Amino acid sequence: MDKILQDNLRKEVKALFEQKKVDLVIGYETGPTKFTTTPVLIKNSEEADRLVINDFITSNLAKMLVKIKGKAGIVAKGCDSRSIVSLIQDHKVKRENIVIIGVPCSGIIDVGKISRLIGKEPDEIDDITREKDAVLVTSGSEKKSLPLKEVLYEHCLACDLSTPAECDVLIGEPASPPLDKVASLAKINEMEKMTAEQRWQYWKEQMQRCTRCYACRNVCPVCYCERCFVEESEPQWINIAPNWQDNLIFQVIRSIHVAGRCTDCGNCERACPVGIPLRSLVRKMYDIVDEMFHYKAGTNKDDLPLMASYETREAEELIR
Amino acid sequence: MVKKIKQADIGKLLERWAKDYRIFVPSRDGEITRFDRWDGKDTGFLSIYRNTVVPAKSVFFPVKEEMFSYKKDSTGYQLKVPGPSMSKKLLFGIRPCDASALAMLDVAFKEGYEDPYYLEKRRDTVLVGMTCLRPYDSCFCTSLGGGPGESKNVDIMMTQVGDEYILEGITQKGEELLAGVEYFTDASEADISRLRSVKEGALKQITRKVNVKDITQRIYDVIENKEFWETSAIKCVSCGVCTFFCPTCYCFDISDEKEKGTGIRKRAWDSCQFPVYTKMPAENPREEKWRRVRQKVAHKYAYFPTLYGGTISCTGCGRCIRLCPVSWDITAVINSVPEKVTTESK
Amino acid sequence: MEQNSEWKPQILGFLCKWCSYAGADLAGTSRKKYPANMRIMKIPCSGRIAPLFILKALRMGFDGVLVSGCHPGDCHYQTGNYRARRRIALTKKFLEYIGIEPQRVQASWVSASEANKFAQVSEEVTKEVKEVGPNRLFSDNGQNITG
């Protein structure tokens, strides 16, 4: 990502405050450790210089729009802007109450991937610089060039909208990550080659590690229920203790609940502290929704949500 | 006493100890690391040169455990309680921060009410600590009375020096374990001098500092300052990652799982960050997110020290910073708590 | 998958009150012959179905789940069955992906007068569920949880 984008952003945000078009702006600032950013809420133009745009702006900030008070400006990459549209469709956010500051995105770097490729933890890396189709990684005296495709987040490789369409201002020229849908869906395609028993066994093993911390659910912008189904006690749908059976039901139902609203922003998988490949669930749902109903989440703010609409004829082959 | 062992002999040392103890070592589980039973042969875990993702507390206070089970038969309900811990444990490679944390859990699970599940697992456990040669940039143990080579809460402290490990006997139990093992050589003066410089080098690598001077009183001074806590809490998503992976957190929830005629009572990790944690029929005293975030910070840096002799229940392991989905940083919050109000500074 | 000759499939049928439940009733009073393996739950409309019900039923140990409602266009509440159709379609596809045999999750449109169809659906669903065998999906050690 350019420094130009960052400068443009800060200029734009200052202008928005000066013109009194916003009460607050939600964006990214430098994070507590190397190669991280963290969400920040700024309330005046003096704080605008805290905002950053770089290769590590991972969080989906749309989450912070739910329950916000006042007119909010929000920094949004392509996937984030679609999540905002999903929220508008669900009437959780009013379009007129927000100013969408669109960030043309050429892909976000997954520092974990770099770490695994060069065998060094993020804090042992000195510098990560993006150069066209490659990334130059420096650690001490070692310099290594890695292909960009190998270090971007998997979901970036299948990006359906890198430059926000629904936005009030775009802070740069349209951009796109290098696309490689095959690589992006590699895990899912592997899964489809397995037998049903193998797949079930795979998920059973993955779910043994789930601690039900709910990081996945809580970072998701479209999981905004005041009371999630897991918190119901009358009736109690799944047990509170993290047994693999209950964990699996939680993840499966969550994937179904976000169908048609999930934009494959990858935040759930990134948030998981124990490394469960959650994208292999939600992205599959994303593709099922696309195949069956030719619907992509967050495309048009005036559309009805997927599950609130229907065609007179569809999916009949599945019903007796 | 201070002993030395070659890395290649660690396997044999563990085999020796395995005769009397169940050995737990850092292990890989997919992309994460945790403490698991040693498989009896592989010492590849020695390459895990940093703290595990899942803290050592999980050995004594697992993410879920059975409290008792019942079964209905012709004579009535039969209750089954887990039996006593069969053998002694040895935790090999625990980091100083996790060991300090265990000392705090020992207090929490004993004062007021003795938790049989934790205490039963915890008794007769030997802790063999491991010095952190390359702490994370998110580690801040030195600000909280700890350090990468701190040995005060372990029985034996190990430090890697080159391709050897130096073992310091700290407690009497530790000394007993070090005595008479043929793979050891006595550490020489030169060894001890190298050990000192390795530990000093590790100490210098801790760059993150947190200002805990008078922190308990400072927190009480801002405890009602809603704006302070709201600003600190704004990006938090109220998941349970920081608390679950915190080595000093110990909240749990009890639930029953019933089948026809049988049932199990389990306990599982719970988090004060969950919105429903304090929810009751009439009200929820921590409905707003800033109250929950305030609770987390205040518990660790004010309430626990007030209750338990000034001990801050944070060991600076940095997991909350590394694992938080939005990179919330407790050190930034603590450092932003205003300095203590004194009559001079008014 | 073991086939215990004593095992009888247990199927949970969610039948909408206005059409399918009435159809099932008619099948009964008309003395149609069909398998007795289905436990019936009357729901006001097939649109009442949440994917959670289907998974909960499988978790509890039911070998198969059937959701049956009015034909599209004939829903007593106008659009309930359309909603159900989308939910069921997503659920079926997704559960198949994670490794649950698709025969365990079934759906049908049965109207109040279609006693024969209900009997036929009952027959076919039971047969398919019998073929995939007892539901051991969620059991840890071969035992089912029914709580």
The one-letter code for the residue type at B258 is K
The ipTM (two decimal places) reads 0.94
Strand ranges in A22-65 using DSSP code E only, listed in sequence order: 24-30, 37-42
Rounded-to-integer distance, Cα C26 and Cα C20, Å: 10
Over residues B284-305, mean pLDDT: 97
State chain C's mean pLDDT as an integer: 91
What pLDDT sits at residue A154?
Answer: 96
Joined together, the tokens standing for residue B219 give: 């927190």
What pLDDT sits at residue B181?
Answer: 84
Q: What is the pLDDT of residues B203-222, one digit of tens each?
A: 999 999 999 999 999 999 99
> Going by C-beta distance under 8 Å and a sequence separation of 6 or more, which residues neighbour residue B45?
B25, B26, B27, B28, B38, B93
Place of tokens 């001490």: A140
pLDDT above 90 coverage of chain B, percent: 90
Q: Which residue has the higher pLDDT, C3 or C114?
A: C114
What is the pLDDT confidence band of residue C5, given thresholds at 50, 70 and 90?
low
How far apart are the CA of C60 and the nearest CA of chain B, in angstroms?
9
* Residues C129/C64, Cβ–Cβ less than 8 Å: yes
**Which stretch of DSSP H or E encloses residue A137?**
strand A134-139
CA distances from B307 to A96, B110, B295, C7, C146 (A): 50, 13, 15, 59, 45
Quick check: C144 pLDDT over 60? Answer: no
Rounded-to-integer distance, Cα A277 and Cα A284, Å: 12
Closest by CA to C10, choosing from C33, C42, C31, C36, is C36
What is the pLDDT confidence band of residue C143, given thresholds at 50, 70 and 90?
very low
pTM: 0.94
What is the pLDDT confidence band of residue B343, given thresholds at 50, 70 and 90?
low
Rounded-to-integer distance, Cα A38 and Cα B326, Å: 6
Q: What is the pLDDT of residues A231-289, one digit of tens each?
A: 998 899 999 999 999 999 999 999 999 999 999 999 999 999 999 999 999 999 999 99
Closest by CA to A60, choosing from A34, A35, A41, A84, is A84
What pLDDT sits at residue B259?
Answer: 83
What pLDDT sits at residue B87?
Answer: 79
Give the CA diameter of chain B: 77
How far apart are the CA of A230 and the nearest CA of chain B, in angstroms?
11
Q: Which residue has the higher pLDDT, B154 or C144?
A: B154
Q: Touching A: which chains, 3+ CB pairs < 8 A?
A: B, C
Q: Touching C: which chains, 3+ CB pairs < 8 A?
A: A, B
Is any Cβ of chain C less than 8 angstroms from the Cβ of A237? yes
Q: What is the pLDDT of residues B51-99, one digit of tens each?
A: 999 999 999 999 999 999 999 999 999 999 988 877 799 999 999 999 9
- Residue B133's φ and ψ, nearest 5 degrees, are -80, -30
Rounded-to-integer distance, Cα A167 and Cα A173, Å: 14
B chain contacts of residue C146, beta-carbon cutoff 8 Å: 259-260
Per domain, the residue ranges of chain A are: 3-108+152-319, 109-151
Place of tokens 């169940």: B22
Strand order in the sheet with B262-269: B76-80, B64-73, B262-269, B252-259
Contact map slice: A 192-231 vs B, CB within 8 A: 209, 211-215, 217-219, 227, 231
What pLDDT sits at residue C142?
Answer: 41
Is any Cβ of chain A less than 8 angstroms from the Cβ of B226? no
State chain A's mean pLDDT as an integer: 95
Burial of B182 (0-12, 13-18, 19+ CB in 10 A): exposed
Domains of chain C, earliest start first: 11-132 (3.40.50)
The three-state secondary structure class of A75 is strand
Over residues A166-177, mean pLDDT: 94
**CATH 3.40.50 at A109-151, yes or no:** no
